[in-house]
Amino acid sequence: MDGTARIERAIEAALERSAGRGSPPQLATAMRYAVFPGGARVRPRLCLAVAEACGDSEPKSSESMASAIEFLHCASLVHDDLPCFDNADSRRGKPSVHMAFGEPLAVLAGDALIVLAFETLAHGLPQAPGRLASLLMTLARASGMPSGIVAGQAWECEPNVSLSEYHRQKTGALFVAATVGGAIAGGGAPEQWRRLGECIGEAYQVADDIKDLVADRAVLGKPLGQDAANGRPSAVGQLGLRGALTRLEGLLSEAMEAIPPCEGQTELRGIIRAQATRLVPKELATAAA
């Protein structure tokens, strides 16, 4: 079974458990709405690819970790879209969760997806208790304080922001959890895989900043992106557009070099190369230059 099919199956199984006997039906529906149809499932695919490169000796462990990371990502999207943050009406081409279900169920759907991430680990790893402790800590560090995605989002409420801390926590943390967690779950050496997650995470964030500005210029004909409008820290704001594009290229090369020698090295490089072309569509990069 390929990675995508394994991920979708594991995510489906976890959501079915969460909608079990006694559950309030609207919250169950809102959670499913937040998770399906998915985006590119980049983080869980990366997690599984690293686990496979390390031998994937406990497939249920790597699938659990991959799904858990995706649930945390979906939870963060639901809460980031709330009126008190981005006030986003739509997400992935459909109304955002609070637009479709109301604000109370959006808050609770995010909460429940955070918990589901940890429940998924607990459910998938009782046979590998040694790995459970490391994976649980990796997941908790990537999601909470002092350095996970929740911490990252909180920098938007601070008067003085470190751009690198903000990027590392808000975007990098889950990519690091994907590579480090994939290595733990697959039986590899986790620290060898950290730098790869850091590079991909930072590349994603820089690419997002670029897209935000360029798409805005192209579509709306105004020079101010949503990041600037929302007062969010941005790589483009700090480095300029050309500087940000250079930084992005540098990060992607570094990511390629950060892959440790392993059996699936060629395949992993392929995944990263494919993602890289998706990060900034060529016409946008050209238009910007």
Residues that bind a copy of itself (CB under 8 A): 17-28, 31, 75, 79, 82, 84-85, 102-105, 107-108, 110-112, 114-116, 118-119, 121-123, 125-126, 129-130, 132-133, 136-137, 139-141, 143-148, 150-151, 153-158, 165, 168-169
Task: Name the residue nearer to a copy of itself (CB basis): 132 or 210.
Answer: 132
Task: Give the separation between CA 260 and CA 53, rounded to whole angstroms.
Answer: 9
Contact 101, 44 (CB under 8 A): no
State in angstroms the smallest separation of the CB of 76 from a copy of itself. 9
Specify the residue, 1 or 157, whose C-beta has the smaller distance to a copy of itself: 157
Least CB distance from residue 190 to a copy of itself, whole Å? Answer: 15
Q: Which of these, 92, 151, 143, 93, lies nearest to 117 by C-alpha position?
A: 143
Q: State whether residue 6 is helix, strand or coil.
A: helix
CB closer to a copy of itself, 137 vs 220: 137
Separation between Cα atoms, residue 163 and residue 39, nearest integer Å: 26
Count Cβ atoms below 10 Å from residue 247 Cβ, excluding itself. 20
Minimal distance in Å, beta carbon 96 to a copy of itself? Answer: 14
DSSP assigned state of 95: E
Query: Residue 103 or residue 263: which is nearer to a copy of itself going by CB?
Result: 103
CA distances from 240 to 103, 178, 288 (A): 36, 30, 11
Q: How far is the CB of 196 from a copy of itself (least distance, A)?
A: 21
